[in-house]
């Protein structure tokens, strides 16, 4: 994925969702991410990475389970967690990293 680095190195925080199409819990994330996106508008970017199509990116960040969520700020991961996370929790976590 050639422009992954370009996306996460921007000034806008990026929430990255590492997922797989075969993963049941991953299928619960789209409405959660939609809610997060509608809350933050353009203050946060959301990027979904299919681990089966982008194994090198997933390996670079040692993604061992999906879904795995990362927040990147200025190109560096500042937070990560695996599993389904409710939108209100993600909003609180992102708010901490916006300042």
Which are the catalytic amino acids? 23, 26
Counted residue by residue, the chain has a size of 99
Label residues 23-36 b or e (16+ Cβ within 10 Å = b): beebeebeebbeeb
């Amino acid at each position: 994925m050639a422009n992954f680095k370009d996306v996460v190195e921007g000034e806008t925080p990026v929430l990255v969702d590492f997922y797989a199409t075969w993963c049941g819990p991953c299928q619960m994330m789209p409405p959660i991410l939609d809610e997060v996106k509608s809350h933050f508008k353009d203050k946060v970017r959301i990027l979904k990475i299919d681990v089966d199509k982008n194994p090198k990116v997933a390996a670079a960040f040692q993604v061992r389970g999906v879904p795995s969520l990362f927040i990147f700020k200025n190109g560096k991961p500042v937070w990560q967690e695996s599993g389904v996370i409710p939108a209100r929790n993600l909003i609180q976590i992102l708010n901490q990293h916006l300042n």
